[in-house]
Amino acid sequence: MTVTTYDLVIVGGGAAGLNAAAAARARFPGKRVLLIDGEEEIGYYRTLLPMFMTGVMPEEKLFFQRPDDPVGYETRLGVRALALDREQNHLSLGNGEVVGYERLILAQGGRPILPPMFADRRLPAGSFPVRSLAVARRIKDWLPEHRRIVVLGGGLVGSKTSVFLAMGGCQVTLVEKEPHILPTVLSERTAAPLQRHIANLGIDIRVNTTIDEIETDGNKVTRARLSTGEWLPCETLLIGIGGTPDIGFLADSDLIDGEELVVNPGLQTRDPNIFAIGDAVTIETAEGEHHQPWTWPQAVSQGKRAGDNAFRPSAAPVPRVTRVNAQNISGIPLMILGGPGVGSEVVSRPDPDPGVWREFFMEADRIVGGALVGDIAGAGPLHFRMANGEAVGGEAPQHLQRRTRAFAAESWGRLARARRARRFAMEGERA
Ligand SMILES: Cc1cc2nc3c(=O)[nH]c(=O)nc-3n(C[C@H](O)[C@H](O)[C@H](O)COP(=O)(O)OP(=O)(O)OC[C@H]3O[C@@H](n4cnc5c(N)ncnc54)[C@H](O)[C@@H]3O)c2cc1C
């Protein structure tokens, strides 16, 4: 058996893996790096797939990196990692190759969760999980002839997808099992106006229910049954109920705790030469808290940090572990600061301005999450204070004001100083 050994092997070329590769190349230019991905194409914005598959955005705009861009590392595309042998520092690949590594970064993301009716993972024609470019292309080809659509899952992916489909003239029913859409990031009160806005686009929203059966004409999907017993006409079923870490190939690696690939704040697994990042991981803080910040901005930030950490004597912690991300839902800007934690208190503006809603999830006098809807001014410093665990105490209601001026110039100053300090620290280390 021939084994080619690399200084660094990265599994996964999504936002996390590509940023790790770029950071490692920049920081350790002499190292030989290999990046492996199961997809044939990488370097695209997964977050924009709903816009692409509904025809709102052309395919070429999806890509932030082109296959012929000079990247300075080797790739194996369309090839999956199948098994990890930590004793030998070997990774077995789907093309029969075995590669050796000195350092390994696991960035294989998640795989879509399928509802129980697809337990055998066989989906009839017309039903698709929304996750990869290859499937998004199939959806795009399928939609023009099959415009009666049921979207399962009222989270970010399902809600965004429904909006773009409705804007494209499709007949859309959005099904969410919780009492309101975006249940993991918004309270019912703040979700309500957004839900009305989406319903006004002509989307039929069904909450407190799920789909427990589908009917086919022997080949393709024709109807979907809600748990209430009602049958919905359905020519296309889009599944957007989230993802789960894709950790199957690590089964014998002794890196998995329960169902989790756990890393420390320096993004190291229990094997200090193996890092893991992005949607694949759970980050355990020094206090023992477990975080799963599965968002695009976190994948980017963790990727950069892991690439930077790969050959350092001690791994620097990831700068922030938050689930902050920004959206625009059909003209309504939305800044998600993070979902409610167990036992967190909801503080929201009692009498919102039209079109503007703000809420925070508070633990003691710290903001631990929340959302700004309709007006996201001031989100940067709010995020900063939240991420640093600052006590805001009685100031919280002020921050709920529209176009908040609650941040003294001093807060902006502190933010700028912290950014400068971080930059200098990194530059100092590089020098
Ligand atoms: C439709 C959609 C819309 C979204 N919208 C938003 C949004 O608006 N805002 C936001 O913050 N987040 C959004 N997300 C989530 C965001 O895209 C993810 O958090 C982010 O892409 C995670 O990056 P990652 O690199 O960890 O994983 P991924 O992007 O999933 O990349 C992992 C890569 O690893 C590859 N891989 C997996 N297993 C193997 C293996 N065994 N061997 C080799 N390669 C492997 C996969 O093929 C994949 O290319 C969205 C997700 C989807 C699906």
Residue 314 belongs to a domain? no
Arithmetic mean of pLDDT, 51-77: 93
Position 413 scores a pLDDT of: 57
Amino acid at 313: P
Position 429 scores a pLDDT of: 41
Taking 80 as the threshold, does the pLDDT of residue 344 lie above it?
Answer: no
Domain count, the chain: 3
d(CA 396, CA 408) in angstroms, rounded, equals 14
For residues 107 and 254, membership in a common domain is answered with: yes
Top mutation candidate among 57, 130, 279, 336 for ligand 1, by most atoms within 8 Å of CB: 279
Q: Give the residue whose CA is nearest to atom 37 of ligand 1.
A: 108
* Last-in-domain residue among 279, 309, 339: 309
For residues 289 and 388, membership in a common domain is answered with: no
Binding site membership of 399 for ligand 1 (Cβ less than 6 Å): no
Q: Nearest CA to 206 among 220, 225, 190?
A: 225
Binding site membership of 407 for ligand 1 (Cβ less than 6 Å): no
**CATH classification of the domain holding 220:** 3.50.50.60
Give me ligand 1 centre to Cα 297, in Å. 11
Q: pLDDT tier at 426 (50, 70, 90 boundaries)?
A: very low
Binding site membership of 239 for ligand 1 (Cβ less than 6 Å): no
Arithmetic mean of pLDDT, 247-273: 95
Residue 429 belongs to a domain? no
* Last-in-domain residue among 255, 279, 309: 309
Amino acid at 282: T
Q: pLDDT tier at 13 (50, 70, 90 boundaries)?
A: very high
Count CB neighbours of 386 within 10 A: 23
Q: pLDDT tier at 362 (50, 70, 90 boundaries)?
A: confident
Find the helix packing angle between 379-387 and 409-430, rounded to 10°: 60
**Per-position DSSP letters for 45-73, written without gaps between them:** -GGGHHHHHTTSS-GGGGBSS-TTS--SS
For residues 249 and 237, membership in a common domain is answered with: no
Q: pLDDT tier at 342 (50, 70, 90 boundaries)?
A: low
Residue 318 belongs to a domain? no
User: Between residues 10 and 353, which one has the greater pLDDT?
Assistant: 10
Q: Give the residue whose CA is nearest to atom 39 of ligand 1.
A: 108
Give me ligand 1 centre to Cα 416, in Å. 31
Residue 427 belongs to a domain? no
Phi, psi angle pair for 344, to nearest 5°? -75, 150
Residue 356 belongs to a domain? yes
Structure tokens of 133?
Answer: 């470019």
Residue 431 belongs to a domain? no
**Per-position DSSP letters for 249-265, written without gaps between them:** GGTTTT-EETTEEEE-T
The total number of residues shown for the chain amounts to 431
Taking 50 as the threshold, does the pLDDT of residue 95 lie above it?
Answer: yes
For the CA of 132, the closest atom of ligand 1 is: 53
Residue 67 belongs to a domain? yes
Angle (nearest 5°) at CA 92 between 89 and 95: 150
Binding site membership of 13 for ligand 1 (Cβ less than 6 Å): yes
Phi, psi angle pair for 268, to nearest 5°? -95, 140
Structural domain boundaries enclosing 400: 325-422
Residue 256 belongs to a domain? yes
For residues 125 and 232, membership in a common domain is answered with: yes
Arithmetic mean of pLDDT, 234-259: 95
Position 427 scores a pLDDT of: 45
Sign of dihedral through CA atoms 334, 337, 342, 345?
negative
**CATH classification of the domain holding 352:** 3.30.390.30
Taking 50 as the threshold, does the pLDDT of residue 370 lie above it?
Answer: yes
For residues 15 and 90, membership in a common domain is answered with: yes
Binding site membership of 158 for ligand 1 (Cβ less than 6 Å): no
For residues 176 and 31, membership in a common domain is answered with: no
d(CA 166, CA 54) in angstroms, rounded, equals 9
* Last-in-domain residue among 206, 241, 276: 241
Enumerate helices (H) and strands (E) in the chain, giving the number of each: 9, 26
Q: Which residue has the tokens 């477990």?
A: 290
Position 263 scores a pLDDT of: 97
For residues 104 and 252, membership in a common domain is answered with: yes
For residues 124 and 234, membership in a common domain is answered with: yes
Arithmetic mean of pLDDT, 393-399: 72
For residues 144 and 95, membership in a common domain is answered with: no
Binding site membership of 296 for ligand 1 (Cβ less than 6 Å): yes
For residues 94 and 157, membership in a common domain is answered with: no
Binding site membership of 156 for ligand 1 (Cβ less than 6 Å): yes
Residues 6+ apart with CB under 8 A from 271: 86, 255
For residues 96 and 141, membership in a common domain is answered with: no
Tens-digit pLDDT profile for residues 70-92: 899 999 999 999 999 999 999 99
For residues 185 and 102, membership in a common domain is answered with: no
Q: Nearest CA to 83 among 96, 64, 67, 102?
A: 96
